[in-house]
Structure 1
Amino acid sequence: MGNGLTVALLNGAAADADPGALRALAQVNYGHNTALQVRGVAAQGLGLHMARLRQGTAELFDAALDEAAVRGWMAQAARQAGGDCSMRVTVFARGFDHRRPLQELAVDVLVVAAAPQPPRTGALRVLARDFLRPVPHLKHVGTFPLFHHRRQAQQAGYDDALFVDGRGADARIAEGALWNIGFWDGQAVTWPQAPALRGTAERLLQAGLEAQDVAQDRRPVHMGELPAFRAAFACNANAVQPIIAIDAVEYAQAPDLMQLLADAGTHAPWEALD
């Protein structure tokens, strides 16, 4: 059980001991991260999270990630936070200079462990927005447009934003502001394919559904197809939530689908951080 404390470690040491590095992260806004729920100093899909960090470090900094050290720091932060926590691991380089972006640098790793988040269960009404995140295959720190579109959706009376690549019936559905989306036709789950960050929760659900012999389809889904589905859902590291409306298209609650997804979510084992 978590103790409610927020723990921040920079390369394994207390982050507040090196405020200059944190200022560099805030000011330069160049780096990448992964977010996960930790229970008992263990996490689901740990290999996916480490692969994400490894890929981002190689692509943004031409550097190798010391995975053993990172996992040790993650475990250290989790234990200091009481064993259960919501964790974010951010890789950046305090010496990064936008004028010389190819210079060789040592990377820094910030691990933040905060109070564990209870799963969100509320149904969502989402507004389609013509936007695709830049460099979508990386979970990078450039989150301004994500939060801006979410804010605009809430100003319009919705809960969140759904990103699509255009306007009208032919626009392809990509992802939500901080989540992936799936659809249900009563027989199979369809995962829309467009430029998007493929989340760890999405991949774990796919594996869990496959283990249950649930049919799945991965293909482009266009806005004009929305009425053909019976239900929709959002998923990320914190929750799997029903979507009951996309723009003017409304969906009924689908408790059988949500139970199916909940069962799929238990398929992946919890792996010790160290």
Structure 2
Amino acid sequence: MAELNGAPVGPDELKALALINYGHFTSMRMENHRIRGFSHHIERLVRDCQVLFRSELDRDQVRAYVRQATADEEGSFVVRVTVFDPDLELGRPGAPAGPKILVTTRPAGTWPMAPLRVQTAQYMRDLPEVKHVGLFGALWHRRSAQLDGFDDCVFVDAEAYLSEGATWNIGFYDGEQVIWPNAEVLPGVTMRLLQQVHDASALGPVNIADLPRMEAAFATNTAIGVRAITAINEVEFPGEHPVLKTLRKEYEEIPAEAV
């Protein structure tokens, strides 16, 4: 399913997204036509539209397009809202923008997902605070990690401090509290919701040298929920830990919002 501003979309309208690749998006797991943190996702779209296009996105219009595009969907699935300008020209990206709203869906995986083994990569996304469509660097490092026998990658800076995964946030448990890296990262909606409901959590620096003292590590985003990480480079973590069960329970108990 794919609709642009509420109508079926054709290849010509998607040409700018494919060839110029300038825009932003959010992905949301929908269950029975409800989404956890839906209002946070809407706010992300509004904020990022101002950053990328200096344009005001209509919240109610986004809701209406999502509601229409998913009306016939059943069960659990992932809906993605992508905002881009079909008329954007490569040579004149500073021209007045007319961003439109693309809504697509794909199947959702079953929770909890299999644990991840990840490899570190020195990298920081462009505009890390924005969930933009420029995924080349992230996918390059994910591919490199997979070719090295890992499932995914996690980014570190020049001093070996961890920030985020290719398309997810990362958290750790040190035996007392959940620690989220205080680096420049995308403020993921799932991470934000967990920070709100899990009292024993804090922001702090996490270096590669700190990993052996951590009792557990996990990845979060709307599609995967809370997913265990069992290895970062050569440092191993358990695939199951009481804190992971607690976080999953707390997250799944968060009331989902009607679209």
Pick from 9, 12, 17 the counterpart of residue 6 of structure 2. Answer: 12
In structure 1, the gaps of 5 or more residues are 1-6
Q: 1:187 — aligned with what?
A: 176
Give TM-score, length-normalised by structure 2.
0.95
Give TM-score, length-normalised by structure 1.
0.90
Q: 2:66 — aligned with what?
A: 74
Between 264-273 and 69-78, the greater mean CA deviation after superposition: 264-273
Are 1:200 and 2:189 an aligned pair?
Answer: yes
Give 3-state SS (helix, strand or coil) of 2:28's partner. Answer: strand
Quick one: percent identity of the two aligned structures?
A: 38
Are 1:268 and 2:254 an aligned pair?
Answer: yes
Give 3-state SS (helix, strand or coil) of 2:163's partner. Answer: strand
Are 1:103 and 2:95 an aligned pair?
Answer: yes
Are 1:256 and 2:250 an aligned pair?
Answer: no
Give 3-state SS (helix, strand or coil) of 1:37's partner. Answer: strand
CA distance in 2, matches of 1:24, 1:125: 35
CA distance in 1, matches of 2:197, 2:131: 23
Give 3-state SS (helix, strand or coil) of 2:86's partner. Answer: coil
Q: Does structure 2 retain, via aligned residues, the 8 Å contact 1:118–1:238?
A: no
Alignment of 1:77-226 (within 5 A): 77-82=69-74, 84-166=76-158, 170-210=159-199, 215-226=200-211
How many residues align structurally?
Answer: 258
Superposed CA deviations along residues 103-135 of structure 1, whole A, max 9, x for unmatched, are 212211100022333235211111110111111
Deviation at 1:83, TM superposition (A): 5.9
CA distance in 1, matches of 2:248, 2:23: 32
Q: 1:247 — aligned with what?
A: 233
CA distance in 1, matches of 2:143, 2:105: 26
Q: 1:53 — aligned with what?
A: 45
Superposed CA deviations along residues 205-231 of structure 1, whole A, max 9, x for unmatched, are 111213xxxx11201111111111111
Q: CA RMSD in A?
A: 1.4
Deviation at 1:77, TM superposition (A): 1.1
CA distance in 2, matches of 1:41, 1:241: 23
Q: Amino acid of the residue matched to residue 115 of structure 2?
A: A
